[in-house]
Amino acid sequence: MARITAGVTTSHVPAIAATIDLGKQQQPYWAPIFKGFEFSRKWMAEHKPDVAILIYNDHASAFDATIFPTFAIGCADEFESADEGWGRRPVPVVKGNSDFACHIAQSLILSEFDMTVVNRMDVDHGLTVPLNLLFGDLKPEDQWPCEVIPFPINVVQYPPPTGKRCFALGRALRTAVESYPEDLRVVVFGTGGMSHQLQGTRAGLINREWDTKFLDGLTKDPIGLTKIPHLEYVREAGSEGIELVMWLAMRGALNDNVKEVYRFYHVPCSNTALGHIILENQP
């Protein structure tokens, strides 16, 4: 059967995409950030997943104010990089796994999660930046090392789902993966965050203490994290800190017992706190 072997979280800061595309990774401001992912790239190369289920939020690229599904899943065979205003990113086309994705969609819907099945969409920096950070700076003629199933969650259009609901979705996702008969190694990504606010009088907010507690809880007490209400995310982590509920969807897909393999935290990355963690499933 398919099995989830590990979970990865990382911020998906759009400025990282521009830095990679313009070849500025070694500039003094950016070098410490990319150095923080050197271990992660080696780990991923050794881990060799067959499929990455990548939980992210669309930034009005595939969806807009006319339709913003709470939970969606990409079931196509491939996904192009979105044009976010300056052309498509020069990265490989994302290759999906339609059979596996459709199986997951069916399982989740029958488990009473109202998924939106998307058979054609472009994927933006929310998905491609994590791929770059974990797999490397690939060119359009290259291929990502594994298949990718895009899994958008709405944290843009009010109201977003609760952390508790996202964690439960992750639990159902694990059941869906484990009921697939093909022998696949699966890594689940949770992306976005950490604390940041892009507008208003609190623009530029960073809360290192709160971020650190969230990272600790992800490993040691995820159930406690599911009790955080929306207003606490806004108050403590900024208006965009709500993206962290997507990390809880990833954590719900893992076993109760996990091993924290690596953690990286850096401030600032553009106007955000960048967080990253790798958790391996344990029996």
Active site residue 276: no
Q: Is 40 left (phi over 0), alpha (psi -120 to 50) or beta?
A: alpha
Whole-number Cα distances in Å, 264 to 111, 272, 280: 35, 14, 16
The answer to whether the beta carbons of residues 195 and 273 sit under 8 Å apart is yes
Percent of the chain predicted with pLDDT > 70: 100
Q: How far apart are CA 216 and CA 224, in angstroms?
A: 11
pLDDT at 75: 98
Active site residue 196: yes
Out of 12, 47, 103, 196, the active site residue is 196
Give residue 193's pLDDT band: very low, low, confident or very high (50, 70, 90).
Answer: very high
Tell me how many domains the chain contains: 1
Phi, psi of 277 (to 5 degrees): -150, 150
Give pLDDT tens digits for 229-262: 999 999 999 999 999 999 999 999 999 999 999 9
Helix, coil or strand: residue 259: strand
Question: pTM to 2 decimals?
Answer: 0.97
Give residue 53's pLDDT band: very low, low, confident or very high (50, 70, 90).
Answer: very high
Out of 12, 47, 103, 125, the active site residue is 125
Give pLDDT tens digits for 104-132: 999 999 999 999 999 999 999 999 999 99
Question: Per 3-state DSSP, what percentage of the chain is helix, strand, and coil (rounded to 5)?
Answer: 35, 25, 40
We report the CATH number of the domain holding residue 264 as 3.40.830.10
The domain containing residue 161 runs over which residues? 3-281
Give pLDDT tens digits for 130-177: 999 999 999 999 999 999 999 999 999 999 999 999 999 999 999 999
Query: Which residues, at least 6 apart from 18, have a Cβ–Cβ distance to it below 8 Å?
Result: none
247 burial type by CB count under 10 A (0-12 exposed, 13-18 middle, 19+ buried)? buried
